[in-house]
Structure 1
Amino acid sequence: MEMHSSVTNDYVKRLEEMRKSAKFHPSIWGDYFLAYNSNNTQISSDEQEELAKLKEMVGKLLAQTPDDSQRKLELIDAIQRLGVDYHFEKEIDESLRYVYVNYEQQNNKNGDDLSTVARRFHLLRQHGYNVPSGVFQKFTDNEGNYVASLENNVEGLLNLYEAAHLLKHDEDILDRAIEFCSSYLRASLHKMTANASLSKRVNEALILNMPIRKTLPRLGARKFVSLYEEDESHNEILLKFAKLDFNLVQKMHQRELSDITRWWKKFDVANKMPYARDRIVELFMWMTGIFFEPCYAKA
């Protein structure tokens, strides 16, 4: 019994030495985020009123756009990529439910419009609808290869490329889509000088290897705001709403980060637990990268 106790004590002692020997570098942030406080992160009543006004206008635009139209798909896509879809979850769900119920009919209606077919597929799969990838067969030849005539349809190829990243196991048609689109889009980059927004979207997805599927929602929204603004067809009200919403949510995150930094500092982690990583800021950023919405503030 005594021998067992001695062995246990030695093991615990060695374990403690190992834990305390960790040479993690200190947090690079220090007290930086303590500068964010209730004064410089305050959201004014004017800002709240402006946000509510713009939200109502975007909501009306969403409601007035027919569910069976290409424009509705483009609008929902833009709202999601701009990071303001959490304001219109019910409306978007209802619209996509309608699209799903009429999926086959709508694909036949739009004929060979690759951009619309790919965007519809992408939005539905992204929302959990198990739509078949066979819808892309009409863009392939008898051997299952995508037809070369699509090479000049840059917008369509980019939408297909994004949609294909939602593939499931053994969906060869989507595997081939990624390869086909990558090849032609890379070759077309130098020809896109007339459309800066499209060129940057292609560069982001392919060259930087950051398709929508791999992008953190908040980071993607910040980048897309700039891209959307350069798009000549953008909706000014939606753009203004997205910018204001992003700035106000950012203020909320700054205030949260200040509070959590102050809370963490009280624990004096660096001195009391030198074997632990002092990475509270990084942990906060990872969480807000996924759950950025104000409703998750307490979590």
Structure 2
Amino acid sequence: MQRSSWLHPKFVASLHNSSSRNPLHFRKQQTTKPYHYNDHQKSLCLRHTDKLQEVRRIVDETRGEKETLFLIDSLQKLCVDYHFEEEIEAKMHSLYEKQLKIIDDVFYRFLDSSGEFMASLANEMEGLISLFEASNLNFGGELMLYRANEFSRIHLKPYRTSLDTDLAVHIKQILENPYHLTLQRFKARQILDNNTSKSYYNFNIVELGKMDFTMIQSLHQKELKEVTRWWKESGLDQELVFARVQPLKWFIWPMTCLPNPKFSKYRIVLSKVIAFVYLLDDIFDVEGSLDELYLFTQAIERWDHSSMNSLPDYMRACFKVLQDTINEIAQIVVEEHGWNPIEYLKKSWIQLSKAFLVEAKWLIEDEVPTIDDYMKTSTISCGVPLVLVHIYFLLGHGATGDLLENLPNLISCPTRILRLWDDLGSAKDEEQKGRDGSLLASLRKENPHWSSQVARGKVMQMIEEAWEELNKESFSPSASMFSRDFVIGCLNTARMVRVMYNYNEEHKLPMLKEYINLLSKQV
């Protein structure tokens, strides 16, 4: 049970899904300008170009089934696979054409006569790692993968204290942040910072990963400056003095969802979209009276600035900049993809404002809604459907008549994951002044005999089920309706949730802090 245990069908499926192009979206997307570096970065660019060619030769020369799979795994783990999409696609098709023999019951070979995992496997650290990582690709109801996860986790834990420091850290990181459930650049940075982790991979691929990481850091810093500049020039910091002003948090979401460097323009404009989700939340939750919020919602529904005349200045200013932002996105789609999605974009903001209004009424009237009513409203108010719909159109997908009424599972699953994780938090955002409802309250109202612990356990179960459904959807034939970048965006949204909402007892976000530190410090 060495590294070849990665040949489980789940692993091969993940490689093929994340590496192959969707033939329905084969044309090159016109997105943004290429890298622009100053004089101090030119040397890095030249070295990066040379190293890229070296790794390309390695990719071209790699033969053998296990060697090819390990190569693709290495490129993905170090987040440089986007340079080799065509080569990876060709190699994966070649493996399938050779009818690589991978059987669905591959785990049964590791069971003893009593049907338990062989005790001797506890001594195979590499095999346990592979088993653990593969077990996180459960599509739901796969009992063997549940057992594999439990067995591998139990037997990997002792390695954290019995090995040298780097290896112990490596095991700890794997257990805390399984690859499939974790942000890829976060994992890549952990690998680059750990000598033991780096030793598993080809030196040239590691070096390319370091250079790539540094260049993308520079690009992200420029993008964040652009978002901050937009915020200052908008004048909203003077109008919305009660609101959370968090440009870094606004930017982290699109930086995570759309990691490919070519989407620079999209990340900047999506940061503005996410800013308005936070800003509207604060208007409805903190500042506006119920009468004002009714009028504000009606004005957004009409999408007419003149209808704002009777509202407070801060609401009028906010809506004006929101209109400008949505028009900017619609214009990008028109220029790059040839059609105008403005009606769909407006509808998504109308839905969001209506959901915020319903929640405002619940809170003002101290009403605890039913579970169904709560989930129906809060999965809209969390903002995930709105943001993913904007990404959907920016990536060039065409109009779908019922997209906003019947969200595809690729959107609804990360939506539920975020909503439920947020509700699980023992404390709200330390900078949020208003009150939020919670599914926990609705669960305990309908199940008064439940303790808080039981209710939280139910929410965790719902999160796990949503992840399994997302896994299944991401690798199913229905995913071919969407571009590879959109599928990645939906998965990364779900992966980001635990980073953004995992509050500790001090009401802080240690994982978010670690994520920001890892992505910002020099490699």
CA distance in 2, matches of 1:99, 1:143: 35
Residue 63, structure 1, aligned to residue 65, structure 2: no
Residue of structure 2 aligned with 1:90, choices 82, 86, 94: 86
TM-superposed deviation, 1:160? 0.9
Compared CA separation, residues 197 and 72, structure 1 to 2 (3 A): farther
Equivalent in the alignment of 1:243: 210
Residue of structure 1 aligned with 2:75, choices 61, 73, 79: 79
Equivalent in the alignment of 1:292: 259
TM-score under structure 1 normalisation? 0.70
Query: Within 5 A, what are the aligned runs for 1:1-299?
Result: 44-68=41-65, 70-102=66-98, 104-105=100-101, 107=102, 133-193=104-164, 197-206=166-175, 209-227=176-194, 231-274=198-241, 276-299=243-266
Of residues 40-49 and 252-261 in structure 1, the stretch that sits farther from structure 2 once superposed is 40-49
TM-superposed deviation, 1:75? 2.1
TM-superposed deviation, 1:228? 5.6
CA distance in 2, matches of 1:267, 1:229: 48
TM-superposed deviation, 1:53? 1.0
The answer to whether the Cα contact below 8 Å between 1:165 and 1:213 also exists between their aligned partners in 2 is yes
CA distance in 1, matches of 2:151, 2:252: 35
CA distance in 2, matches of 1:285, 1:43: 26
CA distance in 2, matches of 1:73, 1:197: 25
Of residues 286-295 and 241-250 in structure 1, the stretch that sits farther from structure 2 once superposed is 286-295
The answer to whether the Cα contact below 8 Å between 2:166 and 2:194 also exists between their aligned partners in 1 is yes
The answer to whether the Cα contact below 8 Å between 1:197 and 1:231 also exists between their aligned partners in 2 is no
* Alignment length (residue pairs): 232
CA distance in 1, matches of 2:202, 2:115: 38
Instruction: Report the aligned-residue RMSD.
Output: 2.5
Gap regions ≥5 residues in structure 1: 1-37, 108-131
CA distance in 2, matches of 1:170, 1:200: 32
CA distance in 1, matches of 2:232, 2:107: 55
Bigger relative CO (Cα 8 Å, ≥ 6 apart): 1
Of residues 226-235 and 256-265 in structure 1, the stretch that sits farther from structure 2 once superposed is 226-235
Compared CA separation, residues 97 and 228, structure 1 to 2 (3 A): farther
* Secondary structure of 2:105 counterpart: helix
Compared CA separation, residues 223 and 215, structure 1 to 2 (3 A): same
User: Amino acid of the residue matched to residue 99 of structure 1?
Assistant: L
The answer to whether the Cα contact below 8 Å between 1:133 and 1:171 also exists between their aligned partners in 2 is no
The answer to whether the Cα contact below 8 Å between 1:249 and 1:294 also exists between their aligned partners in 2 is yes
User: Amino acid of the residue matched to residue 253 of structure 1?
Assistant: H
